[in-house]
Structure 1
């Protein structure tokens, strides 16, 4: 039956019926194109006064056909949701290249490119959506960069909120269907992003649904700033996100117990887009599409996920295999919201219905 609702209601309807597929690694695909300094600069920035190679977000302005082509490859492989090429398109991250003033344009153009690619293949029965990506920045509000001065911070909450707000505003203006706060290693950074997004709503901006995705940095089962998945959810659940989940850092095999932990507590959809295994000695990724897809297919069978895709090292071939592995499998039912007190530190503290007084999960 054709979907005739707004993008948000259409998304909700499809997410209720099936597991949605996210795209794969934009960075991996850009690296495969091997752009050099001249390609990054294009003619517009030929005289820029610092090196810009590695500034992937700049390619939205200088090599739009490359970015559009990568989006198309993931769509052709079966992706339902594209992420914009804006992981580092904040004023804080772009300061490394002296390109802070380009942030609004980068985000608008990235959204436009993804929107064009999505609409080129969307049909009434199979719409496609665009998620505006907001990465973690290259600074952390919770940890000192100076081991000799643990109280020092090189960024403030207000700095982060201003940077995220600027980027989110431009992504929304560019036409995204979702905002994706992703690869969260510091929950305080993420809370600054969520605060900024709520501020836009207060200004009357039509804010789309929010996806939140943290990263467990190693086999300790915690974020870089020390939180367990359950505590992370308690920290961000006030945002009432469309989905919460994990991406990056780990391969699917290592990520499963942490996704299971989130699925056991979150009254939101669960997203998972792991790396293609752990990096090898050369920093590459060796897990094959079939291997990654086998993991995610099993998670779907176990009722753990609502949205799946790939992070570092994943290609259109990985997404094609993942899409096939979850096709026809039911999405995880969203549980009722818990009527209990949940507090978050490094671990979850829970009290209320079904939990003993002072019971820690």
Structure 2
């Protein structure tokens, strides 16, 4: 018997967890304590550890946050802060802990999981697939409004900020549902700065960024009301000037890259995703699939090949359910499934030889969409 135990952390584990975070991450343990404490609804069960004879071999944190796909709200379990002390690496401990985390998230009612990492091969073997995402929504702001007033956001601005957030990202999929408490505790955090642009006394744009000087990639998110792109441009220009590399000593700061580049793919950790529970995923996506399919009656069984969480969807009578006990009509890799779900590929790109009826059904089920992206964090 290997004496390895996967379990929830508890407050008594905190000194050892802080020591591990300090060893494995440059930002130090205060950053992680703030991330944990500021997420509404989170408890110690969402910090998972693998230990042997009382020694912590690997640890990670989970961030359970609802995300929206059109009319559907899905329960997402984010994987974060995966770390193994140097003395215990190369033994498969983090892989074992990731498997435990998947089972735990399913038990807590999560239908899918996100994680952000540059280690795509490692996490790919554990079941997550890359989700390539466009940055175009953030780099269209070439003009700047001269009449925009820039200031720091205040907590009393939450209603206005939330209205901008919902308006701007409503056409996208994958964005987090934010309650007022979430805004106040998670977004208005000492780890972040939130600035707004006003015109005629009204907040019309905001930008969220890190305040820690050694964090990789200071910029996180920006949004504006319809027709206020120039105000957003003024805000981002102001931020770029404020955090110019000559002042920070860092080369190629993200904000300046944001203003100048046309393609920012690959600059930061990639988002990876996985369906954890196909039954729950189909249930939670039901309202959105019904809207998309608009009464299409054709039956089609789509298998998704993921060794960690195999499954798929059965489209029938204008609805979707988890694929069970039925030979699939079509099969996709998990990576290609996420390309469809996140709008990064068309059906005919991945399945070029479909019949017209199958093409019509799948094109309706997986239309071109834009995937929300907040830079390397769970927002």
TM-score by length of 1: 0.27
Task: Write 1 or 2 for the structure with the bigger share of helix.
Answer: 1
Instruction: Give the number of the structure whose alpha-carbon radius of gyration is greater.
Output: 2
